Amino acid sequence: MTTPIQTIRDDFSLLDEWEDRYRYVIELGEGLPPFPEAERTAANKVPGCVSQVWLTTEQGAGADPVISFQGDSDAHIVRGLVAIMLALFSGRRASEIQNTDAEATLKELGLDEHLSPQRANGLRSMVKRIKRDAEAALKQTA
């Protein structure tokens, strides 16, 4: 069970030190469900990430399907960032995913200022992939 995005926002607001926030991000990553070894494929790998990041997409039925994501990384902090993105996007309708501003959430959490350029690019790649999958789901049913 991933931590809800509102809980993450609330927890971040209580942590003043960046050292504590990084520790919390790592804990979020540790809370991700185990990622199946069979899903660690080139097709599920997110390009543009310095660390290895895998992402799978499961789509519900209907014109505006609910989409669930599962992800993992071989790096602790990145795994935590994957957890935050899953909390933000997974289990939502494709149209909601399209309208969710990940950059605003990262700013709100202060992560936009505290990530290395490589991690920030990787995160943008992951968001792009998630939104592309949502767009594809909406087109399939159109």
What's the CA gap between 90 and 87, in Å, rounded?
A: 6
Give the list of residues 6+ apart from residue 142 with CB closer than 8 angstroms, or none. Answer: 63
Mean pLDDT calculated for residue range 27-56: 93
- CB contact at 8 A, 126 and 46: yes
Residue 136 above 80 pLDDT? yes
For residue 126, CA distances in Å to 13, 24, 62, 86, 102 come to 24, 20, 24, 10, 10
What's the CA gap between 49 and 1, in Å, rounded?
A: 25
What six digits make up the tokens of 89?
Answer: 């996007």
- The proportion of the chain whose per-residue pLDDT surpasses 90, expressed as a percent, equals 77
Residue 142 above 80 pLDDT? no
Q: Tell me the domains of the chain and their CATH numbers.
A: 5-141 (3.90.1010.10)
Which pLDDT band, with edges at 50, 70 and 90, does 112 fall under?
confident
Which pLDDT band, with edges at 50, 70 and 90, does 120 fall under?
confident
Which pLDDT band, with edges at 50, 70 and 90, does 3 fall under?
confident
pLDDT tens for each residue of 62-99: 999 999 999 999 999 999 999 999 999 999 999 999 99
DSSP string covering 67-109, please? EEEEEEESSHHHHHHHHHHHHHHTTEEHHHHHH--HHHHHHHH
Residue 119 above 60 pLDDT? yes
Exposed, middle or buried, 46 (CB in 10 Å: 0-12/13-18/19+)? buried
- CB contact at 8 A, 71 and 82: yes
Tell me the catalytic residues.
Answer: 49
Query: Is 54 strand, coil or helix?
Result: strand
Which pLDDT band, with edges at 50, 70 and 90, does 111 fall under?
confident
Which pLDDT band, with edges at 50, 70 and 90, does 20 fall under?
very high
Q: What is the pTM of this model?
A: 0.93
